[in-house]
Amino acid sequence: MVLELGSASATGIVTFWTYLMFDYKSLLTNRVRQSGAAQVSSIFKAADRPGVISLSGGLPNPKFFPIDKLIAATEKVMRADGHNILQYGGSEGYLPLRKWVAERYCKQGVEVVPEMVVMTSGSLQGMDITGRTFIEPGDTVLIEAPAFVGAIQTLLIYQPRFVGVPVAADGVDVQALGRAISENPGAKLFEACPSFQNPSGVLYSQAARDGVAAVVRDLAILVVEDDPYAELRFDGSQPVSLRRELGDQCITLGSFSKIVSPGMRVGWTVASRALAPYYALGKQTTDSHASNFAQAVIWQFLMDNDIDAHIAGINATYKIQRDAMITAIAKYFPPEVKTTVPLGGMFIWATMPDDLDAMKMFHDAVDHDLVAVVPGGPFYTDGKRGNHQFRMSYSTVEPDVIEEGIRRLGRALARHLDAPSAS
C-alpha cells in the first residue's frame, strides 16, 4: 500500500512514529518535575477505589452547599445586572464583595479597607501570586513543618530554598522560628496556617501569635497567613487574623470554599495598600480577574442570607464528626499512636512510633482493610520528616462510617506495631 503525503493515514503514522521516537516529557522544566504533585495524586487515586472508606480528602461537606439559595442569588443578580456581571471585570475583583470582605475583618478588630483586598480564584491562587511576586530561584522561604501540601507544591514551582519550622501543640515553635530567621537572614517569607492548620488541625495560641509578631517585628520578612479554616471553630473563641498583631507585615489569604462552595473558586488576598496592586497585577497576568459572575452570586447570597447562621450549621455538624473520630480513635487505635484534638477545622494529625512507615501502612490499609488516610511525608519540604505521621479528615464522612473507618485503620496500625489485633 502506498500512502500519499498529507493523507489522514500518513499523518497518523507520522504522528505515532514521532510519539515513539521523542519523549515530550523531556521538555518539562525542572520546577515541574520537582513539584511532587504525582505522588500526592497517586495517594488520592488509591483512596478512590470502590469499597474504600476515605478519611483522606480535605473536602467541605457538600450537604452544606446552599444550592437553592445560590440559585435564587444567581437569578437575582442576572436579572438586575446580568450584562455587567457577564462582562470582563477589574483585576482587583468585584467591588461590593471586596467591601464585604473588608468589613468582615473590621468587625474582628482588624483594620482592612477594600483597596487592600484583591479577589482570587481560590486562596491557593493567592499563594501562587505570592510566589511569583516575591520568590527568585534560591530565595529562602520559612514554612511550617508540617505544612499544607498545596502551599508547598505551589511555592516549589518558584524554586525557593525551604526551611521548615516545627509546629507544636499550640502553634509554631516561636524559638525555632527565631533561630531560623537568625540563621537565614535573607529569608523573605514565613508561610503559616495559624487557625486549624492543614494538616495538623493546630490552632495558634495567643502566646504563639504574639511570639511570631515579636520575632519578625522590624525585619524585612513578610508573614503569609493562609487562613481558609478560621471560621470553622467548634470550641473556644473565634480566631482573629494575624494582621491584628502584624499589620502590613502580614499578607492574608482567605476563601469562600470552606463556608460557601469550593466550586465557585472565589478567594481573596489582603495586603497593604503598597503591595495590593502587585496582587492585582498578578491577577491581570494570570486570568485577568476572578469570575465576575461567581463573585456577584456569592455577594448576593451574602446579602440575602445570614452567613453566620450558615457557618454555625457547618460547625455543629463538623463538631459531631470530629467527636465521632476522637471517640473511635480512643476505642480502636493502639496507645502508641498519638493524635491531635482540634478545636475546629477539618483535620486530625496522627503520629506513630518513629520506626513505622506511614506510606507502607497506607498501602497496606487500602489493600487489606479498605480504609485510606494521607501519609505525612508530602507535608514536609525536606523529604525526611513525617514518614511516621498521617492525616485524617472527618468533614465529609458520617459518624457511623467514621467509626468503621477508624476500626479498620486501628486494625492496620496494630499489624504494623506487631500488637494484638485492634478489631
Task: Summarize pLDDT for 24-69 with one digit per residue, the tens.
Answer: 777 888 777 776 666 667 777 777 788 999 999 889 999 999 999 9
Q: What's the rounded mean pLDDT across residues 290-307?
A: 98
Task: Summarize pLDDT for 377-418 with one digit per residue, the tens.
Answer: 999 999 888 999 999 999 999 999 999 999 999 999 999 997
Q: pTM of the entire structure?
A: 0.90
Contact (Cβ atoms closer than 8 angstroms) between residue 390 and residue 374: yes
292/288 Cα distance (integer angstroms): 10
Q: What's the rounded mean pLDDT across residues 3-29?
A: 61
Q: What's the rounded mean pLDDT across residues 277-291?
A: 95
153/40 Cα distance (integer angstroms): 10
What residues does 351 pair with on adjacent strands?
338, 389
Per-residue model confidence (pLDDT) at position 1? 46
> Nearest Cα to 247, choosing from 70, 105, 72, 399?
105
Per-residue model confidence (pLDDT) at position 238? 86
Q: Provide the pLDDT confidence category of residue 11 given band limits of 50, 70 and 90.
A: low
Per-residue model confidence (pLDDT) at position 20? 56
Q: What's the rounded mean pLDDT across residues 120-148?
A: 97
Q: Which domains does the chain have, with CATH numbers?
A: 36-64+309-414 (3.90.1150.10), 88-304 (3.40.640.10)
For all residues of the chain together, what is the average pLDDT?
A: 92
> Nearest Cα to 356, choosing from 337, 370, 340, 339?
337
With cell 527568585, the residue in question is 136
Task: Summarize pLDDT for 151-174 with one digit per residue, the tens.
Answer: 999 999 999 999 999 999 999 999
Per-residue model confidence (pLDDT) at position 82? 96
Q: Is 223 helix (H, G, I), strand (E, B) or coil?
A: strand
Q: In sequence order, which residues have a C-beta less than 8 Å from that of residue 28 and are 6 or more positions away?
A: none
Q: Provide the pLDDT confidence category of residue 75 given band limits of 50, 70 and 90.
A: very high
* Range among 9-23, 29-43, 352-366 with highest mean pLDDT value: 352-366
Q: What's the rounded mean pLDDT across residues 353-373?
A: 95
91/87 Cα distance (integer angstroms): 13
3-state secondary structure 296-353: HHHHHHHHHCCHHHHHHHHHHHHHHHHHHHHHHHHHHCCCCCEECCCCECCEEEEECC
